[in-house]
Amino acid sequence: MTKKMLPVLLSSIALLITLVAMPFMTACAPAAGPSPTPGTTPTPAPAAGEIVWKGQSLFPAEDLCHKLQCLGIVNTLNDRLKGKFRIEMSLPDQIVPVPEQFTACSQGVFEVNMSAFAFDSQWVPEAMIAFGLPGSYENVDQCYDFWHKYGALEFFRESYAKENQYMFRQLPLGRNSLMTKDIIDPWPAGIKGMKIWVEPPQAYPVRDLGGATTYMPLEELYMALKLGTLDGAVYSEPELETLNLYEVINYVYHPSVQEVISVDMTFNLDAWNKLPADLQNQINSIMDEINPEITKEYVAAAADGVKFFEGKGGKVVNLTAEQATNFHKVCRQSWDEIASESPRSAEAVKLLREFMSKAGIP
């Protein structure tokens, strides 16, 4: 993948998310009635003095990033700060089209943007590193340390501030794993020529191993695998169950292309700066409290997906120590290419490498 290819792939992400979200694009909850639209939050009349923000999620209603991460945060904030502060979340395209979502938050069309760093990298190139580079963290704890003990949160807040957004939190998820219909034999030469559905930055190592990387709308992934149009995918493990991929995937490979990836929630910076300092502190304090638990839920869902997959006859292929080491080398050889996207990208890659060295991550 060349530097010129990356914008095309990222544009494909926007189209992909839009198409995936279409079945869920129902209107927001009516003014009267007992329940909001599934995946959105209630819209009662504001209490006297209550601050009400609106937001849009990049993820469709059934996606775990929306169900566990986005709504987990929003509903907790709304409950804890009732009468003082409330966020009303909408689904993709309900306020603005998905390709306009990042810019709309920057411009104050709405105040909350639930997104993915890989998508954001169209405006903030170094966000690709925030997403999680292939072969980097080995677990969620290392990811947390990089962000909260090694300065990554402050670094990326500076980046997003240039786009008039407050990078509220990075939200770590589980692994994105290589999955195939037929076993890769021998490893890794057997992947050469395989057609693999994959998104950046995971596309780099698949390309470098000789795989043919491709995109198509997510709703077509299952049938493409079933019909043999695709040979595999790099995707999150909960979807082995939720998208029935266990029916068309027979092998999952560990270690993953990325053991930990991250999504993000950002706020319009002007709106954030207008909040009273004590309210800002409350919001951040609540988030510090609940973020680890929400992350544990997602990681548990990933483990459940693998157990379900194995229970249906699927096989997890654990690479040998030597194979895993060599695989990580392939994953990391794309880092310089990613760093070349911008000066801040180079700084971010340097920061990650320094952290990994000090943390003793091989």
pLDDT at 142 over 50: yes
Q: Check for a shared fold between 5-174+261-303 and 176-258+308-359.
A: yes
**Tens digit of each residue's pLDDT (9 = 90 or more) over 35-94:** 456 667 666 666 778 999 999 999 888 778 888 899 999 999 999 999 999 999 999 999
Query: By percentage, how much of the chain surpasses pLDDT 70?
Result: 86
pLDDT at 330 over 60: yes
CATH code of domain 5-174+261-303: 3.40.190.170
Over the chain, what is the mean pLDDT? 87
pLDDT at 5 over 60: no
Q: Cα-atom radius of gyration of the chain, to the nearest Å?
A: 20
Question: What pLDDT does residue 128 have?
Answer: 92
**Tens digit of each residue's pLDDT (9 = 90 or more) over 198-209:** 877 888 999 999
Superfamily of domain 176-258+308-359: Bacterial extracellular solute-binding protein, family 7 (3.40.190.170)
Sequence ranges of the domains in the chain: 5-174+261-303, 176-258+308-359
Q: Is the pTM of this model over 0.85?
A: no
Question: What pLDDT does residue 37 have?
Answer: 61
Q: Which two tokens stand for residue 12?
A: 């494909």
pLDDT-based confidence at residue 228 (cuts at 50, 70, 90): very high
pLDDT at 358 over 60: yes
